[in-house]
Amino acid sequence: MPAAIPSLQLLRNARLYAPDPRGVVDVLIAGERIAAVGRDLESPPKSWGCTVHELDGALVLPGLVDAHVHLSGGGGESGPETRVPPLQFTQLTMAGVTSVVGLLGTDGTTRHPAELLAATRAMQRLGLSAWMWTGAYPVPTPTLTGSVRGDIVTVEQVIGAGEIAISDHRSSQPTFDELARLAAECHVGGLLAGKAGVLHLHLGDGRRGLELVRRILLETEIPARVLQPTHCNRNASLWVEAMELGGRGLPVDITAFPPDDDDEALPAAVAVAQWLDAGTPTDRLTLSSDGGGCLPVWDRDGQMVRMDVGSSHTLLQTLGVLYAAGRPLEAILPLCTRNVARQLRLRGKGEVAVGADADLLVVDDALTVRALWARGRQLVTDGAALVRGPFESGGAA
Ligand SMILES: [Zn+2]
The predicted structure's pLDDT at residue 397 = 45
Q: Which of 107, 290, 357, 359 is catalytic?
A: 290
Q: How far is the CA of 194 from the centre of ligand 1 (A)?
A: 26
Q: How far is the CA of 262 from the centre of ligand 1 (A)?
A: 19
Quote the CA–CA distance of 182 and 175 in Å, as a whole number.
Answer: 11
Strand partners, 158: 132
Residue 196 has pLDDT above 70, yes or no: yes
Domain residue limits, the chain? 8-61+352-385, 63-343
DSSP 8-class letter at 316: H
Give the mean pLDDT of the chain: 94
Tell me if residue 290 is catalytic: yes
Q: How far is the CA of 310 from the centre of ligand 1 (A)?
A: 11
- 216 near 251, Cβ under 8 Å? no
Q: How far is the CA of 392 from the centre of ligand 1 (A)?
A: 26
The predicted structure's pLDDT at residue 393 = 79
The predicted structure's pLDDT at residue 260 = 67
Topology at the third CATH level for domain 8-61+352-385: Urease, subunit C; domain 1 (2.30.40)
Q: How far is the CA of 334 from the centre of ligand 1 (A)?
A: 22
Topology at the third CATH level for domain 63-343: TIM Barrel (3.20.20)
Q: How far is the CA of 45 from the centre of ligand 1 (A)?
A: 51
How confident is the model over 20-52, as pLDDT tens digits? 999 999 999 999 999 999 999 999 998 999 999
Fold identical between 8-61+352-385 and 63-343? Answer: no
Stated pTM of the model: 0.95
Residues near 14 by beta carbon (within 8 Å), at least 6 away in sequence: 24, 25, 26, 27, 55, 57, 58, 60, 362
Quote the CA–CA distance of 181 and 203 in Å, as a whole number.
Answer: 18
The predicted structure's pLDDT at residue 262 = 58
- 130 near 117, Cβ under 8 Å? no
Query: Which DSSP string corresponds to 220-238?
Result: S---GGGEEEE-TTSSHHH
How confident is the model over 201-247, as pLDDT tens digits? 999 999 999 999 999 999 999 999 999 999 999 999 999 999 999 99
Torsion angle (degrees, nearest 10) of CA 288, 65, 329, 233:
10
